[in-house]
Amino acid sequence: MSTLYQITDDLLALDALLDEVGGDITDERAAEATWQTLHRLIGQLKAEGRRLHLVVTGGPRLIGLLAMSAATLLFDHQDRLWHLFTPRPLRQEASGGAILHVGPDAGVRLIQAPLAPWGAYFPALRELTQASSQQVLTAQARWMDEGERGRCQLVAQQLTARQAEVLRAFAAGLNPQEVAERLSVSLKTVDSHKTAILDQCRIAWGVADGERMTYHDLRRRFERYYSAAP
């Protein structure tokens, strides 16, 4: 069974959302209430075995963002996220309810948007549907930190002792010339080690060969990794 839910002013008309939000999201309390309501709504529909098509268009932008957040936790692979595209001239002409219905030639169309259903890949994530938005943000930051730490460790394990020294120096905020002076090596040697380190980073982070990386990336990626090391 396919169900279409639009994240627009129509959703604001839901009694449950109106009761908790009051029609607008003007502070963190209202955002939290919206978060909880959307999770309950989508969670209930998924518990009923429905296939969902979430259409994000118009209305308060924050509701759309919160709904997409809920979808990443609760959607399965068969569910879909869409954007309802309306040509700008038509939006201007229809402002204030001047036009309520348009024909198939008006240019309005659905555009499917990519959405990673992380809850389907990692079922434990769905436990966050019972958490507050702040708890979700805290957990997300922790998982991201753990993921970054794992990539940093993977790179560090592939380096020679000298390359590891160079990486630590870059992570400490030194530029190539300063690294050369600290380690008493030539700038050419530092650049050679830097290239080898960046090659390992490209593998660990899945960076395309054509994408430019510099020693600034090494500081950004490894500063916290080494500062937290015993």
User: Do 103 and 11 share a structural domain?
Assistant: yes
Of 126, 145, 169, which one is at a domain's C-terminal end?
126
Q: Are residues 146 and 41 in the same domain?
A: no
CATH number of the domain bearing residue 176:
1.10.10.10
Q: Look at residues 71, 95, 126 and tell me which one is the last residue of a structural domain.
A: 126
- Note whether 151 and 219 are same-domain residues: yes
Count structural domains, the chain. 2
- Same domain for 150 and 165, yes or no, is yes
**Segment holding 83, helix H or strand E:** strand 80-85
Q: Note whether 166 and 183 are same-domain residues.
A: yes
Same-domain status, 112 and 73? yes
- Supply the range of the domain harboring residue 219: 132-227
Give the pLDDT confidence score for residue 136 in this predicted structure. 60
Shared-domain flag, residues 140 and 97:
no
The pLDDT assigned to 185 comes to: 95
Look at residue 187 in the predicted model and tell me its pLDDT.
96
**Per-residue confidence (pLDDT) for residue 26, from 0 to 100:** 73
- Give the DSSP H/E element, type plus range, for residue 84: strand 80-85
C-alpha span between 129 and 9 (Å, rounded): 23
Weakly modelled stretches of the chain, pLDDT under 70 = 1-24, 58-60, 124-125, 127-145, 228-230
Could you report the per-residue pLDDT of 68-121, keeping only the tens digit for each? 888 888 888 888 888 888 888 887 887 777 777 888 888 888 888 888 888 887
Determine the length of the chain: 230
Note whether 37 and 17 are within 8 A (CB).
Answer: yes
Instruction: Say how far apart CA 160 and CA 199 lie, in whole Å.
Output: 13
Does residue 117 share a domain with residue 26?
A: yes
Beta-carbon count within 10 A of 100 CB: 6
- One-letter identity of residue 155: V
Q: 158 and 116 in one domain?
A: no
pLDDT at 198: 95
Final residue of a structural domain among 64, 95, 126: 126
Question: Based on the domain organization, do 65 and 147 belong to the same domain?
Answer: no
Q: Do residues 122 and 98 both lie within one domain? A: yes
Instruction: Confirm whether pTM is higher than 0.85.
Output: no
